[in-house]
Structure formats: structure tokens, C-alpha cells
């Protein structure tokens, strides 16, 4: 009968040596004696005793140890599985939800195009003595462009632009949260609040009832219906309150017409009072704003810091009105504190509203300073993202205003581009 091919140099059973020796080339082999074909051939040597010499235990003891090891592995797996199931049931699901927690900061520079960014960059670079290669906080995060095209005009207004952002669809100029057929469209802010249970906020330097903030919280067929937009913002519609924090101007649309010197409403409804009745804390001044503790402020909040639009940055009295950056920073602090123990984050829209208005009036001095004020707010948001990496920051413009350009040509001949007014 043929000898088994095994990795050992074996001696016959009749030999008095009675032990196994590994050959030199197989001495480091991982082959297991008990698993080898050696045991299938009676003429091969008796290796059970040799196992005792080589492994320090008998073949039976080795098999028993392997059996115990198998059951130890099975029991360990069962214990780990049971512990894992209990952890998931009592705390793990909450942990998994928290790990998916996200914050979204959407910043909108109203009426702001590339030429405006160029002018502001040149202005800051020259007036502050910075290198020619200076980049703004927006330049540093530029990744692309958006298309907000109005459905009924080649020139897009703030209402159609904001509705494109809030509802993800093109609509007509003047549309506030409605589609081209004038039917309400669900907004990203409403989805954040009602589907994701996120805290929500709107911050603007315009009236808080103006086109851009209005398009995230209301559904009206024309942007001039600001009395109705105000009603939406304090929760007077079928979905109830969906905005937890509002900072901006436009107090006149919340005051009754009986207050002739303060109101711009067409009716006698007191929306400030109605807001308080729904749990809102109302802020009416810089003093109220400063007294607000971001770490302990309860939502909802309605802050209107001017009867109409807030002042241009170039005219703003810092003792009377907070800046866009200050409002953004406080809003971020409040929303962070409010969602600290929650499984969902927040959605915050911040608008540099009056960039657009300065361009409409062809006021470059006001325009450039509104842009710089927006940059300051962007810096606040970027610092927040650095400290809270689970936050998404988006900065985008709804449209350009005024056909602004940075150029100079004094005569009909081809110009030399050497203009440097500084």
C-alpha cells in the first residue's frame, strides 16, 4: 500500500524510536498532525503519543480544547448580540439619529452680481492696502452658479428668485411660494419644520415680510401682499407656525391700522399681539436684542427692529439697530441652543436684503457697504461651520440689479483699460 504523502519524516511502527520528526523544509509548516492523511494509513507510525511530545498534550486533550473554544466563541457572539440589541433599543437609535443631525444655513445676497463682487473686492483691496490678489470670503468658497430664471420674464425679481430657492421651481415675477399656476408650493423651510422637526429661522435687513423671507414662509400670489405674509409668519394658516425665529425690519405690517403713526396695515389686526398669544416673544429695539441671551432664549421669537426696512449699513446707528452679522450670529446661537438635545438641527435663511435696494437707486457707496456687511455675515457663518462641521453653508444670489459694471470709456475710440480711481 502506498505511503501517505505527509510533511513529516516518519519511522515505522516497529521502530523503538516511537516519535515524529519534521523535515527541515516542513519544520515551519502550519499543517496539523491530527488533520493529516497520516491517520488514514495503518502502516504509518503511531502519532498519538508523538502529539503529546510535540504539543505538550494528548490528541484527545487537544480535541477537547478545540471543542471548548468553539462554544466559547458561540457564547461570546450571543452575548455581544444581546448587548447590541439592548443598546440599540435604549440608546443606540437616538445615537444614530444624532449622528445624522444636520444644520443648514442658506445665505442670499439679494440683487448681487459678479460686477458687484468685483467692485467690493477692489474697494476693500485699495482702501485697506491689501495685495492685488486679495480674495473676499465669498471668493474663497466659490464653487459655481445658480439659475433662478423667472417663468414669465427674462429679468428675474426677488419673489421669483426666492421661490426658485424655496420651492425648487421656476415661477413668475411677484410669486411668493406659489407656482406658475398660482398654486401653493411646499417650501424647504416648511419641509425642515414639519418633516424633519428642525428649528427654523429667517433673518433679513429688509422688512421681514419682503419678497425673499416671505417666499420661504408664505403662499400669496403677489409680493405686495405683505399684510398677509405677516399673518403667515406668525402662524395664521393651516400649517400653523413654521418659523421659530424672525429677525429684521417691517414692524409696521404687524401693528394695527389704529396706530396711525406706526402701522402700514390695511386692517386693524394686531399681529404682534396675536404672535404673543401663540407663544412668540417679541423684540422691538436694539435694547431688546442685546438683552436676549442666545443660550437661554426660548423659541419662538419675532424681532422687528425698524418700522420698515432696516437702515443701510452706511447710515446705520449701531446703538439703534443690530447689523446683519450680529443678527446672524445671535440667531445661530439661539438655534444651536434650542436644538442641542434634539435629534434634528436647524434651517436658517439669512438675507443681505439691501444690496439690491442700493443698486436700484444707483447708489454705489451704499451698495458696496451692503456687500461688505454681507461678507461680515458670511464670515460669522463660516466660523460657525468650522466649529460645527455637521452644518451646510450655502451662499447664493437671486439676481443681479442695475446692470452694474466696473469700466470707464470717455470717447468712441477703443479704450485703454487703465482706470484706477484710487
Determine which helix (DSSP H) or strand (DSSP E) holds 233, and give its type and residue range.
Answer: helix 226-233
Q: How far apart are CA 71 and CA 89, in angstroms?
A: 27
Q: Which three cell numbers stand for residue 66?
A: 478545540
Q: How far apart are CA 10 and CA 19, in angstroms?
A: 8
Is 371 within 8 Å of 123 (Cβ atoms)?
no
Residues classed as catalytic: 158
Neighbours of 292 (CB within 10 A): 17
Neighbours of 77 (CB within 10 A): 10
In angstroms, the first-to-last Cα distance of the chain is 106
Sign (positive or negative) of CA dihedral 158, 159, 165, 168 = negative
Q: How far apart are CA 349 and CA 217, in angstroms?
A: 11
Is 137 within 8 Å of 373 (Cβ atoms)?
no
Long-range contacts of 36-43 (CB under 8 A, 24+ apart): 36/4, 36/6, 36/7, 36/8, 37/4, 37/5, 37/6, 38/4, 38/6, 38/8, 38/10, 40/4, 41/1, 41/3, 41/4, 43/1, 43/3, 43/12, 43/13
Amino acid at each position: 500500500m502506498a505511503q501517505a504523502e505527509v510533511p513529516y519524516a516518519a519511522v515505522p511502527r516497529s521502530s523503538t524510536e516511537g516519535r515524529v520528526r519534521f523535515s527541515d523544509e516542513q519544520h515551519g509548516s502550519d499543517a496539523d498532525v491530527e488533520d493529516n492523511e497520516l491517520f488514514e494509513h495503518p502502516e504509518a507510525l503511531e502519532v498519538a503519543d508523538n502529539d503529546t511530545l510535540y504539543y505538550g498534550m494528548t490528541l484527545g486533550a487537544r480535541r477537547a480544547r478545540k471543542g471548548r473554544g468553539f462554544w466559547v466563541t458561540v457564547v461570546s457572539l450571543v452575548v455581544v448580540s444581546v448587548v447590541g440589541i439592548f443598546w440599540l433599543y435604549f440608546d443606540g437609535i437616538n445615537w444614530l439619529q444624532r449622528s445624522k443631525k444636520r444644520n443648514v444655513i442658506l445665505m442670499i445676497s439679494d440683487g448681487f452680481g459678479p460686477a458687484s463682487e468685483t467692485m467690493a473686492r477692489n474697494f476693500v483691496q485699495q482702501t485697506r492696502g491689501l495685495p492685488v490678489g486679495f480674495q473676499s470670503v465669498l471668493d474663497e468658497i466659490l464653487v459655481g452658479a445658480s439659475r433662478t430664471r423667472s417663468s414669465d420674464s427674462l429679468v428675474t425679481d426677488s419673489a421669483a428668485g426666492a421661490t426658485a430657492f424655496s420651492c425648487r421651481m421656476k415661477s413668475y415675477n411677484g410669486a411668493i411660494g406659489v407656482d406658475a399656476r398660482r398654486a401653493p408650493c411646499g417650501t424647504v423651510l416648511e419641509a425642515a419644520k414639519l418633516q424633519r422637526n428642525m428649528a427654523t429661522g429667517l433673518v433679513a435687513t429688509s422688512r421681514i415680510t419682503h419678497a425673499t423671507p416671505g417666499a420661504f414662509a408664505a403662499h400669496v400670489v403677489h409680493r405686495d401682499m405683505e399684510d398677509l405674509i405677516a399673518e403667515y409668519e406668525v402662524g395664521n394658516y393651516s400649517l400653523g407656525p413654521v418659523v421659530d425665529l424672525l429677525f429684521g425690519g417691517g414692524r409696521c405690517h404687524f401693528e394695527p391700522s389704529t396706530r396711525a403713526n406706526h402701522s402700514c396695515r390695511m386692517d386693524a389686526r394686531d399681529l404682534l399681539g396675536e404672535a404673543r398669544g401663540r407663544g412668540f416673544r417679541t423684540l422691538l429695539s436694539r435694547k431688546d436684542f442685546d438683552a436676549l441671551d442666545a443660550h437661554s432664549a426660548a423659541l419662538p421669537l419675532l424681532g422687528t427692529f425698524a418700522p420698515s426696512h432696516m437702515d443701510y449699513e452706511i447710515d446705520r446707528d449701531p446703538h439703534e439697530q443690530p447689523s446683519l452679522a450680529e443678527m446672524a450670529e445671535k440667531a445661530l446661537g439661539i438655534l444651536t441652543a434650542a436644538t442641542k438635545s434634539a435629534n434634528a438641527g436647524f434651517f436658517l435663511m439669512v438675507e443681505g436684503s439691501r444690496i439690491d435696494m442700493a443698486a436700484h437707486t444707483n447708489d454705489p457707496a451704499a451698495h458696496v457697504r451692503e456687500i461688505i456687511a454681507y461678507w461680515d455675515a458670511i464670515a460669522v457663518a463660516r466660523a460657525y461651520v468650522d466649529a460645527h462641521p455637521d452644518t451646510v453653508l450655502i451662499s447664493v444670489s437671486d439676481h443681479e440689479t442695475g446692470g452694474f459694471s466696473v469700466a470707464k470709456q470717455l470717447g468712441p475710440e477703443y479704450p485703454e483699460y487703465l482706470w484706477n480711481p484710487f
